[in-house]
Homo-oligomer: A and B are copies of this chain.
Amino acid sequence: MTMKAKKTVRKTAAKKASSARPAAKRIYRFGKETDGDGSMLALLGGKGANLAEMARIGLPVPPGFTLTTEVCNLYYNKGRKLPRRLEREMRTAVKELEAQTGKRFGDPANPLLLSVRSGARSSMPGMMDTVLNLGLNDDTVEGLARKTGDSRFAHDCYRRFIHMYGDVVMGVRPQDEHSHDPFEEVMDDVKRSAGVKLDLELSAKDLMQLIDRYKKLIKSSTGSGFPQEAFQQLSGAIGAVFDSWHNERAVVYRRKYNIPRDWGTAVNVQTMVFGNMGEDSATVVAFTRDPATGEKVLYGEYLVNAQGEDVVAGTRTPKAIADLEVEMPRAHEELQRVSRRLERHFRDLQDFEFTIEEKALYILQTRNGKRTGLAAVRIAAEMVNERLIRWKTALTRIPADSISTLLVPVFRSETRKAAKLIATGLPAGPGAASGQLVFSAREAERLGQRGEEVILCRNETSPDDIHGMLAANGILTARGGVSSHAALVARQMGKVCVTGASDIHIDSQKRTLTVDSVRLKELDVISIDGTTGEVFVGYLDTAPSEVIQVIDGELTPEQSPTYKLFEQIMKWADRARKLGIRTNADTPEQARHAIALGAEGIGLCRTEHMFFQGERLPIVQEMILAPTREQRQQALDKLLEFQRSDFTLLFLEMEDRPVTIRLLDPPLHEFLPSHDGVDGTLAKSLGISRQVFIERLRELHEQNPMMGHRGCRLGVTFPEITEMQVRALFEAAAFVVRKHSVKIKPEIMVPLVSYQGELEHQTEIIHRVAEEIMTRDKVKIPYLVGTMIEVPRAAVIAGKLARTAAFFSFGTNDLTQTTLGMSRDDSGPFLVPYEKLDIITRNPFASLDTEGVGFLVKLAAENGRNIRKNLKLGICGEHGGDPDSIRFCHDIGLSYVSCAPNRIPVARLAAAQAALQASRPSLAISRKAGSTQTASY
């Protein structure tokens, strides 16, 4: 035999061996014998793995078995058929259950009943199907009745089973969302005949009649009878659960959460236990700690003589778990023991379900519990102290967004319950606020100055309204989304804000707000909850968050346990994160607040926001409308004074932290009144005729102001404005350096650059003026000049820009608008349908569109760093405060993110999580599956 021939033989043998290999294990038992464990998430699904794990550690789990996710794939590969051999394997598994329980499947004397439930690798709540009480038929139902001595109970189980099976397995269900459930129709009919209103009121006899009619319904709908044979029932139910992996809901859900279709679902077949077998039976739903507050106390509720679904349905009011200690002391003790055991084992808050069947306890499932932001923080921190988890794990346990719930004021829950809800909009600025209704910024300011609490209500807000927004307690708009102007400014200011409350109608002339029949007048009191989007009539009591009280010095850290938790988490986050965290702040007050919350610098100071304040606006208007260059210079000279003092205060506040100052950005007409509002006084004060004034306004009007004469286009065409701003900045800087010996670090940012020549033009002015003042004042200020990257062209030519710019700051608000060709303010009418149609998964203005905008950000970052190795890269759009976007920024190696002051804690935590996730690639699976890059980058 030649060598080659030998090789061939060996290969063939290997091939044969592989095809002759015994099939992979397809059924994993749990109970007395347990084959799987908690690590086998991919194979057994979440529910199956946890059931196995609990059985393994000796918790009282009703015995059962799991068909693996591989069986699901086999099922689909075979064209929706169960593998032949599986039947035999199932019978063996069921036999073992019979042996353990002493009951027999399909035996009228002592029937074994089973539940069949889905359980995918990743939880998909309510997306797939479940069948309970399987094994009941016309004979076994009588056996169950005899055995329990409760005919009503047995027949109630049976009718529920037929209903579920008919729906899930046999497809007897409403044809579309407008038609009724055929089973419910029959039920209604029977109830009418029996003269009762509630299901509970039906007698055993009524239920028998119902069962009879259910069976006829199935027969007439499908042509087949309801199957009486237990194994036939079982195969049918398993097939149906597998089928449900591909039902419409599940497909949509998977697409939305980027769950691969080939993951498949497992199926769990488990012995039924009944909490409704009398007064010594009960059903319990419990949490190992309080999921609302995080307090370490067993938390939950129970119902005697009931099944789990009765707790959920809310037809009876459950009792608090504490009462169980009195009613069933031994069960309560056992529950405590199990709770501790579960938490020690799973090392996280557990949400678990218990059934007490004739005093015997069975645990049906456990999973990591959902919790509020506060609870997430408290539980994570305390579990580290209890040495249950490490600090890095604790950080990954807190949804980054939820940390912000520690910062916002809240309505006291008792007052909320009593209040009259009139509308619901979008939760645009978290927190709770009450006040008198006003419809104009001017009125808001007037009342605000008198110390009144007001809610400013507008169709939408514009920069004109900023002083009114500042004075208001909260902002409510009828239009706009979560990233409308109102929302953006509100979050920046930390104001409570509800946007897009489209049911309300505002008549700003009559000064009324109408919702259906409710009509409110100006100065009527309303309350808005920016965390939920709710709008209430009247005054609701609020409580400021403890963390903010500590930040503001109204409480000491020692007085606030919540603050201590917060501080602890933030300390850990800072230890883990790689990204720098800066803030978008325009005033010393905002800067101070942001530093207290952990900002390491300013990533965006919008100098124009300084222009809107009180006495400055008329000067700005004078500058814009000046008929001669000389008059413009006079106005600029006045503005110089203001800007210099603004910058001085800001530098003093920020000390040696970097401060990025953006040159004037918005179109000039934003500083002017709209046509309608021209009353002639402004023209008069400017010494020009009303006609000239209106003419000039019209000239400045733009079709698409977002893409008009703004950003560095202003600085290039009116270089004297740039000169003034740079002069103010360096004179302030020189003053602070000389008088206060503070080492400040200004970073001057040129906005809306699309051509290299624009950046060069502005940079030349900056260097010239800087040099002049530093020479004159004999100081050396280490400053940087950089550019915003906020139009696609800038991203494309980033390599060239990096020759001039020492840093890039990605203005992802505008970059999103331009990359998508989508005006943020005008996108509401289609973005909402787009989400429903699954064209987008998240609003691109809230969370960075990594596929489109992200491509350009990455391109610019790479091309920029190719030219300038130490190029500083930051992001200062709204996305700087969004956890998903922060993760993207971390992944592509940005230097820092910058966000509104109140988002700083979120950003710190999200940055830490991104760093931890990047260093543990296993955690990143679902994210990788979700990345949808096509263009090669």
Contacts and interface: CB of A to CB of B under 8 A. Distances in A.
Interface string A798-830: 111000000000000010011111110111011
Given A754-B821, A852-B792, A830 B706 contact: no
Contacts of A830: 709, 713, 716-717
A703 B825 contact: yes
Interface in A851-901: 851-853, 855-856, 859, 863
Nearest to A853: B793
Contacts of A798: 934-935
A253 interface: no
Interface stretch (A158-166, A214-222, A323-331, A755-763): A755-763
A814 B822 CA distance: 12
A643 to B, nearest CB: 23
Contacts of A791: 819-822
A702 B792 contact: no
A817 to B, nearest CB: 6
Given A702-B823, A793-B852, A839 B761 contact: yes
B761 A704 contact: no
A456 B813 CA distance: 41
Interface in A767-800: 790-793, 796-800
A834 B796 contact: no
A823 B754 contact: no
Contacts of A863: 934-936
A859 B796 CA distance: 11
A707 interface: yes
Interface string A693-716: 000000000111111110001001
Interface string A572-611: 0000000000000000000000000000000000000000
Contacts of A793: 819-821, 849, 851-853
A752 interface: yes
The bracket for how many chain A residues form the interface is: 35 or more
B796 A707 contact: no
A74 interface: no
Contact of A823 (B707, B820, B855): B707
Contacts of A384: none
A642 to B, nearest CB: 26
A931 to B, nearest CB: 13
A1 interface: no
Contact of A755 (B713, B827, B839, B853): B839
A838 interface: yes
Contacts of A687: none
A379 B800 CA distance: 44
Given A707-B706, A826-B704, A838-B757, A833 B717 contact: yes
Given A792-B819, A821-B791, A934 B797 contact: yes
Given A704-B706, A863-B934, A934-B797, A792 B856 contact: yes
B713 A758 contact: no
B716 A833 contact: yes
Contacts of A716: 830, 833-834, 837, 839
A863 B851 CA distance: 14
Contact of A704 (B820, B825, B840, B852): B825
B703 A705 contact: yes
Given A707-B822, A755-B840, A830-B716, A852 B817 contact: no
Interface string A229-273: 000000000000000000000000000000000000000000000
Interface string A712-739: 0100110000000000000000000000
A935 B796 contact: yes
Contacts of A859: 935
Nearest to A821: B791
Nearest to A713: B830
Contact of A703 (B706, B829, B839): B706
Contacts of A792: 792, 818-821, 852, 856
Contacts of A852: 754, 792-793, 796-797
A23 B819 CA distance: 57
A820 to B, nearest CB: 5
A170 B935 CA distance: 60
Contacts of A839: 716, 755, 757-758, 761
A801 to B, nearest CB: 9
Interface string A510-551: 000000000000000000000000000000000000000000
Nearest to A792: B792
A717 B793 CA distance: 30
Given A792-B792, A792-B819, A849-B793, A826 B705 contact: yes
B822 A754 contact: yes
Interface string A103-124: 0000000000000000000000
Given A761-B839, A792-B856, A830-B716, A823 B704 contact: yes
A856 B792 CA distance: 9
A433 B774 CA distance: 60
A12 to B, nearest CB: 40
B754 A820 contact: yes
Nearest to A831: B713
Contacts of A705: 703-704, 823, 826
Nearest to A760: B839
A26 B918 CA distance: 65
Contacts of A849: 793
Nearest to A830: B713
Contact of A797 (B757, B821, B825, B935): B935
Interface string A268-283: 0000000000000000
Contact of A935 (B752, B799, B814, B838): B799
Contacts of A799: 934-935
Nearest to A753: B821
Given A796-B856, A798-B935, A709 B826 contact: yes
Given A830-B717, A834-B755, A837-B761, A819 B818 contact: yes
Contact of A829 (B717, B817, B851, B935): B717
26 contacts: A702-B823, A704-B817, A704-B823, A705-B823, A705-B826, A706-B821, A707-B707, A707-B822, A716-B830, A717-B829, A754-B852, A755-B834, A757-B838, A757-B839, A758-B834, A761-B839, A791-B820, A791-B821, A791-B822, A793-B821, A796-B855, A798-B934, A799-B934, A799-B935, A814-B821, A818-B819
4 closest A-B pairs by CB: A791-B821, A757-B839, A793-B852, A704-B823
Given A708-B826, A716-B830, A863-B934, 17 more contacts: A703-B706, A703-B823, A704-B705, A704-B707, A704-B817, A704-B826, A705-B823, A707-B707, A717-B833, A755-B839, A757-B839, A792-B818, A793-B820, A796-B934, A796-B935, A799-B934, A863-B935
Interface of A: 702-709, 713, 716-717, 752, 754-755, 757-758, 761, 790-793, 796-800, 814, 817-823, 825-827, 829-830, 833-834, 837-840, 849, 851-853, 855-856, 859, 863, 934-936
